[in-house]
């Protein structure tokens, strides 16, 4: 039996994801997003009102506010934004333990008749909670779109004696290490030297490196070409 809430108004979409601490990358927060189950969906400059049925488990409470559930908020936001936003939100929700992959998939299936649902279904299917930041999630999307083989995420690499040399963001074909460099700053010369030592030791083991920054994400074709070249060199070595 389906149990629905009638006459309810709840915070929804990107307003709900923001309140749950999920990334706000590429989302418009100019108006508060709410969903009501009945009545007219009349919006104004401050509030955008959506009208949709809500089941009992579609709603939860946070700090005294009624919000759409994490899975519902992620999927409905993806439907009204983009696949890439959906991957970023899904990865973060999985990483934070707010949802399971199964909950996301079931919610996307429930909303499969919504406009934008194909992007939501694809995003939750691609989601991986091992992705640790917005930049890493966007880089995963870029690599997939540009035909880079699926990488392993957060791989620990050890030397022949079992000593941990480093945990890398992505490992492609067991040869190419791809690191996402955000606004990383080293606190001291010692930290910079340690990072250089780490990279040298990994190169000594036969790994190749490619680094991608925020600006590179805005040029996917060029970045994808560079990664393909790096991969070709690593496998030929």
Per-residue model confidence (pLDDT) at position 182: 75
Alpha-carbon span 158 to 167, nearest angstrom: 9
Mean pLDDT value across the chain: 92
Share above pLDDT 90 across residues of the chain, in percent, rounded to a whole number: 83
Residue 43, SS3 per DSSP: coil
Alpha-carbon span 175 to 106, nearest angstrom: 36
- pLDDT bracket for residue 1 (50, 70, 90): very low
pTM over 0.85: yes
Q: For 115-131, how does the pLDDT look when each residue is reduced to its tens digit (9 = 90+)?
A: 999 999 999 999 999 99
Please report, for the chain, the start and end positions of each structural domain, with discontinuous segments joined by +: 9-126, 136-236
Rg (CA), the chain: 21
Share above pLDDT 70 across residues of the chain, in percent, rounded to a whole number: 94
> Are residues 11 and 34 in contact, defined by beta-carbon separation less than 8 angstroms?
yes
- pLDDT bracket for residue 185 (50, 70, 90): low
What the block records as the tokens of 208 is: 């190749």
Superfamily of domain 136-236: VSR Endonuclease (3.40.960.10)
Mean pLDDT of 192-208: 88
- Give bridge partners of residue 65 from the DSSP assignment: 62
């Amino acid at each position: 039996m389906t149990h629905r809430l009638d006459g309810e108004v709840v915070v929804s979409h990107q307003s709900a994801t923001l309140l749950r601490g999920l990334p706000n990358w590429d989302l418009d927060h100019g108006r508060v997003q709410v969903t009501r189950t009945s009545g007219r969906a009349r919006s104004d400059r401050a509030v955008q009102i959506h009208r949709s049925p809500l089941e009992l488990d579609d709603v939860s409470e946070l700090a005294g506010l009624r919000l759409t559930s994490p899975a519902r908020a992620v999927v409905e936001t993806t439907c009204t934004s983009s696949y890439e936003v959906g991957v970023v939100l899904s990865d973060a929700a999985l990483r934070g333990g707010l949802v399971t992959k199964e909950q996301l998939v079931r919610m996307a299936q429930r909303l499969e008749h919504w406009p934008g649902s194909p992007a939501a279904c694809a995003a939750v299917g691609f989601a991986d909670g091992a992705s640790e930041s917005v930049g890493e999630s966007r880089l995963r999307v870029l690599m997939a779109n540009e035909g880079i083989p699926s990488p392993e995420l957060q791989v620990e690499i050890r030397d022949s004696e079992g000593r941990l040399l480093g945990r890398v963001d992505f490992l492609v074909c067991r040869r190419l290490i791809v690191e996402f460099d955000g606004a990383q700053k080293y606190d001291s010369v010692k930290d910079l030297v340690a990072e250089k030592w780490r990279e040298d030791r990994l190169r000594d083991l036969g790994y190749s490196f490619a680094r991608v920054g925020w600006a590179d994400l805005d040029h996917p074709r060029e970045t994808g070409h560079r990664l393909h070249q790096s991969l070709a060199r690593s496998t030929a070595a």
